[in-house]
Chain A
Amino acid sequence: EAGVTQSPTHLIKTRGQQATLRCSPISGHTSVYWYQQALGLGLQFLLWYDEGEERNRGNFPPRFSGRQFPNYSSELNVNALELEDSALYLCASSLPGESKNIQYFGAGTRLSVL
């Protein structure tokens, strides 16, 4: 069974540009979560999508946004990039129902903002 896949692996952008990160969940998983892992700050929750709807967002500015497609894959968009957006962005997915709380993580996209 394929795990959560994220693309690209690495992304280099300059300040002010936009970045788009992609995530494909495990087959059958309907929820997708995005986390930011910045150096020294640990894993911070960004966004949660379930059945195409945004269910919750973390304490991040509105320039962090995303969406979930009908096939449950997801995009994270970061507009007007700032240097401090440089981080590893992790996507996770979970099953519907009672096992919803077990999240399976992708390998991440490393975003570097120059």
Chain B
Amino acid sequence: AQRVTQPEKLLSVFKGAPVELKCNYSYSGSPELFWYVQYSRQRLQLLLRHISRESIKGFTADLNKGETSFHLKKPFAQEEDSAMYYCALSFTGTASKLTFGTGTRLQVTL
């Protein structure tokens, strides 16, 4: 069965500091990995998808199949990055359910 682990419930960093939100997964097939973000009083929205290999709002994430990880990184945290971040896994290429991690709350302070 697939599983997504986000080991940190809360990550607190100073503005301008680097950010790394950890995500590890277990899945026997070829997964598709996502990062979703939920800002205060807003709905859950897609931040990144590993297939597109793009940088969104300065965030990047690389799929490491050897370490089964998909960590989310940003070199310089901004106050507006404060939010709840969820890593999620799906099957590649077809519609299917998302398996979510338990989420990490990122708190960026001055």
Q: Which of A10-18, A75-83, A95-103 contacts B (4 or more CB under 8 A)?
A: A95-103
From A90, A101, A105, A106, give the contact of B90 (CB < 8 A): A101
Closest A residue by C-beta to B90: A101
A94 in the interface, Cβ–Cβ < 8 Å?
A: yes
- Category for how many chain B residues contact A: 20 to 34
Q: Which 8 A-B pairs have the closest CB atoms?
A: A100-B95, A43-B100, A42-B102, A45-B97, A105-B44, A107-B43, A31-B95, A105-B43
From A3, A58, A96, A105, give the contact of B97 (CB < 8 A): A58
**Contacts between the two chains (Cβ within 8 Å), count:** 58
Interface residues of A (CB under 8 A from B): 3, 31, 33, 35, 41-45, 48, 50, 55-56, 58, 90, 92, 94, 96, 98, 100-108
Closest B residue by C-beta to A46: B97
Q: Is the pair A101, B97 in contact by a Cβ cutoff of 8 Å?
A: no
Excluding A35-B98, A56-B96, A103-B98, 9 further A-B contacts by CB distance (< 8 Å) are A48-B97, A92-B98, A94-B95, A96-B95, A100-B94, A102-B49, A103-B46, A105-B44, A105-B45
Which residues in chain B, 31-77, are within 8 Å of chain A measured between CB atoms? 32, 34, 36, 43-46, 49
Q: Is the pair A33, B98 in contact by a Cβ cutoff of 8 Å?
A: yes
Chain A residues, Cβ within 8 Å of B90: 101
**Which of A31, A94, A101 has the most B CB atoms < 10 Å from its CB?**
A101
Chain B residues, Cβ within 8 Å of A44: 100
Chain B residues, Cβ within 8 Å of A42: 86, 100-103
CA distance A3 to B98 in the complex (A): 19
Q: Give the distance to chain A from B61, nearest Cβ to Cβ, in Å.
A: 15
